[in-house]
Structure 1
Amino acid sequence: PNPIDPDQPVSALRRMDGKTVQRLEQLDVRTVRDLLYTLPRRHDDRADIASIADLYPGGTFNVEGQLTDIRSANVGQRRLQLAEGVLSDDTGQIELQWFGQGYLARSLKPGNHMVVSGKVEIHRGRLSISSPEYDVITPRQPPLNAGRITPVYRLTQGMTARNLRSLTWLAVTRSAGAITDPLPADMLQRTGLVALPNAIRDVHYPTDSAAADRGRRRLAFDEILAFQLAILGRRHHRERNAVGLPIKYHAPTVDGFLSGLPFTPTAAQLRCVAEILADMGRGSPPMSRLLQGEVGSGKTLVALAAILAAASAHRQSALMAPTEVLAEQHFRTVSQLLEGFDQPLQQPNILSAYLPNLPRPFTFGLLTGSTRAAPRRELLRMVAEGHLDLLIGTHALIQDGVELPNLSLAIADEQHRFGVEQRSALRGEGEEQPHSLMMSATPIPRTLQLTLYGDLDISTIDELPPGRQEILTRVVPEDKRRAAYGFVRQQVAAGRQAFVICPLVEESDKLDVRAAIDEHKRLSEEVFPDLRVGLMHGRLASREKDKVMRQFRDAALDILVATAVVEVGIDVPNATVMLIDGADRFGLSQLHQFRGRVGRGEHKSYCLLMSESESERAAERLSALESTRDGFKLAEIDLQMRHEGDIFGTTQSGDQTVLRIANVFDQDLLAIARQEAAGIIEADPELKHPRHAGIAAERNRFLNRVQAHISD
């Protein structure tokens, strides 16, 4: 058969109904290329074939032989159709049963040459395997599900592992060879990486684990290279072409704000303010800076100093959050920071404050999807006329159709960094670009900063304000679960609230959601039937999420059960317990993020790490969390211990990280890709040279994916 162009729709592989197409779309697969890049989560080694004479009950085996008998039967009260067969090799025979799959008695035929894989049991006094994985082997069809190293993919409802394997096999055999390798031959030689078609085949259907690793490394390198080209290309473009506006700010306004606060900002906060103001004063290239600091380190205060500097020069700022609840929280934090100053205008969505040495009141407003029509009109009018100094809102709103005529500072959370600069919708093309500041609560180890944020300058708040309480952190073994629940109940009885984070389920997001729904049902019906238990997971519509978070924030719920992906940036000062189930499955940085959600008020707070894992390694990692409260140290420990919980964890709003195939533990690949990307950008910054055409296409695909992810 002819090779299939990888950019054809996935339905070009074989005839498929609309339902299958939809299911593949849920796995983000629309084209054959998408399918080729849907990598297995792991491989199961089913390659060792055992003789039937060597099988014993309780073991899992792979057996090859001939099907000597196959028939169907009805079993149980529900008359489930069962297919029963007998497989024979030169040394003996074994029975096979497939429950609920009576149709196999029609599709399998005596005489079929088969390979099966499964757990051996005793059934009616004879050896048998129940519901084995199986393949019928023909000269044209090698085994995919048994008798080889088998890929295990993330699935979605209605998509079976067999189905997905048969599709990826088709894609690998019909289309991988048609993919042009974007890397020039000399780069392949320098880096010692395998050719792309071989890498794609090996990452799905390897002959051994070394081949699978070689394949993954090559695809990871391509991804990091595209990422580095995007980053270094942006930096190059900004430094050469981007025009910014020097902010001639009035220093006494900023100093008056900082000295008028009821507490003294930390030295780290003041250092970050100075770095940011220096960038803004310089003008071109416009600032592109990441402000990183732990939850509670006071990033909003630093951002507000920059916003006030802009306001003192009659310039506007926008502060964008991923969700409504977080936008409201920023609005509240800014209001609290300005509490000590006179506030002449106090409306639910618009506030103003008189600051020292600012001749007019500083005015700021909140705009979200829930803002009613009248205040919305008023806000938009004030913004357009230049009377609003700061607009706080969700990304989508601020970027679609809000006129900010004097915008000179755009502040966003880091996961939108590819969006904020690229959508110059904030300003017309060709005009001065606003200064941009990204904020992140995920501590990035120094060793990774250049790689992940090479396009940004970095300011780090590396000290917590005095008076932030220590959160008592304890690892709780499974046999003490009831005691942990008792402790939660005690805290609720004292008027406090608690978070319960559900364990990560690897197989799929759907299962994560399912597990959370089941856990919520169990906790609300069996464990805490008398308490108000809410539920939050990644599949809820953002309106629903906001509703649940508001209920929890306003103490209409006692306990919030949540999945890891949930928007945890929320501030609930009354929450004092963070109970993390299956803590051993998360990265240390992510556990530290969860922990930072409690202890925000005056009450003593606790973080309970439930772990079923017996492994010493898990115990070592969790004990690091008990004894360390420095997020940067924990990120380094995570990196050294190579825990696949991914430094970024699931980013704040719980979506996947920028890197899908590579991870931050591929340190050698990160270094090589960075070096190669730097060489390419130096020689050909626009990637216009024909030898870079394939690389440019890879970079554009990467940016489109990140972009689509942001705008979801």
Structure 2
Amino acid sequence: MFNSVLDTPVEFLKGVGPSRADVLKKDLGLFTYQDMLAHYPFRYIDRTKYFKINQINPDLQYIQIIGRVISKKVIGDKRAKRIIAVFKDETGIMELVWFQSLKWVDDNITVGTAYVAFGKPTIFNGTFSISHPEMELYQRKQVGRGNLTLQPVYNSTEKLKKFNLDSKGLQRLIAGLLDQIIPQVPENLPQYIIDKYQLPDKRLALLNIHFPKNVKDLSAAERRLKFEELFFIQLQLLHNKHLRQLKFKGVTFEKVGEKVNRFYNEFLPFELTNAQKRVVKEIRIDTQRGVQMNRLVQGDVGSGKTAVALMSMLLANDNGYQACMMAPTEILARQHYASITELVTEDLVRVAILTGNTKKKERTVLHEQLENGEIDILIGTHALIEDKVQFKNLGLVVIDEQHRFGVEQRAKLWRKNIIPPHILVMTATPIPRTLAMTLYGDLDVSVIDELPAGRKPIETKHLFEAQRLRMFGFMKQEIAKGRQVYIVYPLIKESEKLDLLHLEAGIEQLSYQFPRPDYQMSIVHGQMPNADKQFEMQQFIDGKSQIMVATTVIEVGVNVPNASVMVIENAERFGLSQLHQLRGRVGRGAEQSFCILMSGNKLSKEGKIRLETMVRTNNGFEISEIDLQLRGPGDITGTQQSGVLDLKLADLAKDQIILSEARNTVIALFEDDPQLTKPENAILKAYLQKLERGISFDKIS
């Protein structure tokens, strides 16, 4: 009926049925027995520890006490009715209180009997009590799983609780499921991998993750399941890479020709850093192999990724191919267009731009020039992926800040040539090594870890509200030197929930401190029409305004070398990566630049760490590692859409060693057995075949 017992729909489990199955699916995404077994506890309660009554304090999350019920009485009536029992041990007395299931309590909790009472302690009128304690007869042999040692606690929802599926209810279902199917659970890792890393087998790991007898067994189960989780992500990623190399032959860039050589010798206004030269060489080698290149170039703000991308596009042009560059916003696309057309002339290379705002007449001409090969490099936004945009011979696609595009959007670009073009992905968000291995594990990764010569590190200061006048004074000093200033706010309008200094109030305050006509101000936020936004940005870029007041829309895509100060209001509310991106808007010229982090006096522990980190270092990779630890992988680069990071147990910030073990194991596996034909790898081949039947290639590439 089903491929495996694990594929059995959850409604077939004893105690579930259609109604409970429906809410399990909707609220927790639990559709099959497999999903139920992978609904791991999020913590455990230590049931091995016992307290005396005189050791209780209300800060304890749970307590377990051995004592005797010395009295029991019913108080109140109707809805206010409750049972209160006095519970005593050799150190004192406390109360046990029940508001529900009163008949059961009346029938089963007897005066003079010794019990183990378990629950959350509270204090009322100087007396400790537990509401709705779990009660077990003392010294009676326990039957239920998890009640003697580490008791699992499961995520539930209010709706599930109405179906008696709180943590305890889920515990009962999972215990029953394990009893029913554990002998039939298949092993999914080859024995030689289990032996190499001394992992428990799958069945034992599942038993011990849900109902561990001790911390040692729990730790071993967690390690096994984390390894498995990360191993199969790496298996899928590296298998996809291998498939692509077999399926997609790449165009060959055989020569470095006139365009690259002339640009390097005549046009390039600065010396490439060693890091840039290394990455250009890696791209050059990739594009000679006859296999489609898929390379990620990551580098800090200002590290020179655009120059590397331009040289790569010129390499394509030298070999008779067109190139395109896709950016997530019009502002960023126009910024790239401006940067590139400043570096090259029309007699060297023909560059065009296409965005959603390109007029129909211009668009028609551009489409024609693109199809007959008159355009060498096309820069644009999502408009590039429209079916009407056809290239004569597309050889290289550069995607900037790729995490802002969906998989299907990216795939449309490499369908625009008979032989898929080479792919170069760029990001200015430094990615922690573990995240790069997981998100971009099927790409080759290049890192530009060096800033161009002559760049001065940005000085970062953290100021509190009481120092605001000092900050205004510093802004006036810099403006008097002919410099420009950014001020970034987290909100546009006042929020009742968040007491932040918002943009509208900020403008009012700034207008008083920086009155016209002595000072000009540009205002930009996400709710403005695009045309107004472009106008305000251009005013600042042209130096017609000295102060740019904005929300985080200027996080990427504004290059104003004359801007020397970045003020970030309520800086404690921003993530580290975002703070680092914003800081990178300054420091683009030869002058010393500054970043001022304004905050309230009350800082959370995390807020304090973020601001201290920003003041201490300009190293984006160090910052990204700390950000991963603080925020987790889900939104560090907005990557939740990828689906790769749907991790049940593994933590990329904490499990770097396990991730490295898993990835190295997969690399060695494909080196030894590329087609997975060896008998010991049959279960892995079956896994990948099942995956390929369920998911089209485009969706997993």
* TM-score, with structure 2 as normaliser: 0.70
Residue 637 (structure 2) pairs with residue 651 (structure 1): yes
Rate the CA distance shift 1:256–1:681 in 2: closer, same or farther, 3 A. same
Rate the CA distance shift 1:372–1:290 in 2: closer, same or farther, 3 A. same
8 A Cα contact 1:260 1:340, kept in partner: no
8 A Cα contact 1:221 1:662, kept in partner: no
State the AA in 2 paired with 1:426: W
8 A Cα contact 2:385 2:409, kept in partner: no
Rate the CA distance shift 1:127–1:681 in 2: closer, same or farther, 3 A. same
Name the structure 2 match of 1:483.
466
Shift in Å, 1:410: 2.3
Rate the CA distance shift 1:242–1:262 in 2: closer, same or farther, 3 A. closer
Shift in Å, 1:438: 1.9
Name the structure 2 match of 1:470.
457
Mapped to 2, the partners of 1:521 and 1:471 lie a distance apart of: 29
Rate the CA distance shift 1:526–1:72 in 2: closer, same or farther, 3 A. farther
8 A Cα contact 1:46 1:148, kept in partner: yes
Shift in Å, 1:279: 3.1
Rate the CA distance shift 1:405–1:643 in 2: closer, same or farther, 3 A. same
Mapped to 2, the partners of 1:237 and 1:491 lie a distance apart of: 57
Mapped to 2, the partners of 1:697 and 1:579 lie a distance apart of: 54
Mapped to 1, the partners of 2:306 and 2:333 lie a distance apart of: 8
Q: CA RMSD in A?
A: 5.5
8 A Cα contact 1:418 1:707, kept in partner: no
8 A Cα contact 1:681 1:687, kept in partner: yes
Mapped to 1, the partners of 2:699 and 2:207 lie a distance apart of: 30
Name the structure 2 match of 1:596.
584
Name the structure 2 match of 1:535.
none
Shift in Å, 1:703: 9.1
**CA offset digits 1:309-357 (Å, max 9, x no partner):** 3234442334344x4x3x5413322223313656xxxxxxxxxxx142x
Residue 676 (structure 2) pairs with residue 674 (structure 1): no
Name the structure 1 match of 2:51.
50
Shift in Å, 1:149: 4.0
8 A Cα contact 1:291 1:299, kept in partner: yes
**CA offset digits 1:192-218 (Å, max 9, x no partner):** 112223323433443444333322211
Mapped to 2, the partners of 1:552 and 1:88 lie a distance apart of: 70
Matching residue within 548, 563, 576 for 2:566: 576
Moved more, 332-341 or 492-501: 492-501
Residue 302 (structure 2) pairs with residue 319 (structure 1): no
Mapped to 2, the partners of 1:425 and 1:365 lie a distance apart of: 14
Mapped to 1, the partners of 2:601 and 2:694 lie a distance apart of: 35
Name the structure 2 match of 1:409.
396
SS of 1:244's equivalent? coil
**CA offset digits 1:119-150 (Å, max 9, x no partner):** 431x2343234xx5855769998488998544
SS of 2:290's equivalent? coil
Rate the CA distance shift 1:339–1:590 in 2: closer, same or farther, 3 A. closer
Mapped to 2, the partners of 1:167 and 1:708 lie a distance apart of: 37
Shift in Å, 1:52: 3.9
**CA offset digits 1:547-580 (Å, max 9, x no partner):** 57978885799464x7xxx995454867812357
Q: Which runs of 5+ in 2 are unaligned?
A: 110-114, 511-524, 538-546
Rate the CA distance shift 1:529–1:414 in 2: closer, same or farther, 3 A. closer
Moved more, 698-707 or 261-270: 698-707
Describe how 1:272-311 pairs up with structure 2 within 5 A: 272=278, 274-275=280-281, 278-279=284-285, 281-311=287-317
Describe how 1:343-382 pairs up with structure 2 within 5 A: 354-356=346-348, 358=349, 361-366=350-355
Matching residue within 223, 226, 230 for 1:224: 230
SS of 1:282's equivalent? coil
State the AA in 2 paired with 1:651: T
Matching residue within 224, 249, 266 for 2:272: 266
Residue 426 (structure 2) pairs with residue 439 (structure 1): yes
Name the structure 2 match of 1:86.
84
Report the count of equivalent residues: 637
Name the structure 1 match of 2:595.
605
Rate the CA distance shift 1:546–1:26 in 2: closer, same or farther, 3 A. farther
SS of 1:302's equivalent? helix
Mapped to 1, the partners of 2:73 and 2:697 lie a distance apart of: 52
Residue 441 (structure 2) pairs with residue 461 (structure 1): no
Shift in Å, 1:7: 2.9
Name the structure 2 match of 1:336.
339
Residue 108 (structure 2) pairs with residue 111 (structure 1): yes
Shift in Å, 1:421: 12
Shift in Å, 1:627: 3.2
SS of 1:680's equivalent? helix
8 A Cα contact 1:256 1:355, kept in partner: no
Shift in Å, 1:635: 5.9
Rate the CA distance shift 1:208–1:146 in 2: closer, same or farther, 3 A. closer
Moved more, 398-407 or 155-164: 155-164
**CA offset digits 1:176-231 (Å, max 9, x no partner):** 72542201233222211122233234334434443333222112211222233234
Shift in Å, 1:271: 0.5
8 A Cα contact 1:578 1:608, kept in partner: yes
Name the structure 2 match of 1:686.
675
Mapped to 2, the partners of 1:475 and 1:674 lie a distance apart of: 40
State the AA in 2 paired with 1:678: I
Shift in Å, 1:389: 3.9
Rate the CA distance shift 1:190–1:674 in 2: closer, same or farther, 3 A. same
SS of 2:108's equivalent? coil
Moved more, 242-251 or 485-494: 485-494
8 A Cα contact 1:500 1:580, kept in partner: yes
Name the structure 2 match of 1:151.
153
**CA offset digits 1:35-62 (Å, max 9, x no partner):** 4434455445465333445434554442
Mapped to 2, the partners of 1:284 and 1:401 lie a distance apart of: 28
Describe how 1:3-42 pairs up with structure 2 within 5 A: 5-13=5-13, 14-15=16-17, 17=19, 21=22, 25=26, 29-42=30-43
Rate the CA distance shift 1:388–1:133 in 2: closer, same or farther, 3 A. farther
Matching residue within 117, 120, 123 for 2:122: 120
Mapped to 2, the partners of 1:230 and 1:470 lie a distance apart of: 41
8 A Cα contact 1:116 1:147, kept in partner: no
8 A Cα contact 2:487 2:548, kept in partner: no
Mapped to 2, the partners of 1:133 and 1:147 lie a distance apart of: 20
8 A Cα contact 2:325 2:397, kept in partner: yes
Shift in Å, 1:95: 3.9
Mapped to 2, the partners of 1:526 and 1:159 lie a distance apart of: 43
* TM-score, with structure 1 as normaliser: 0.69
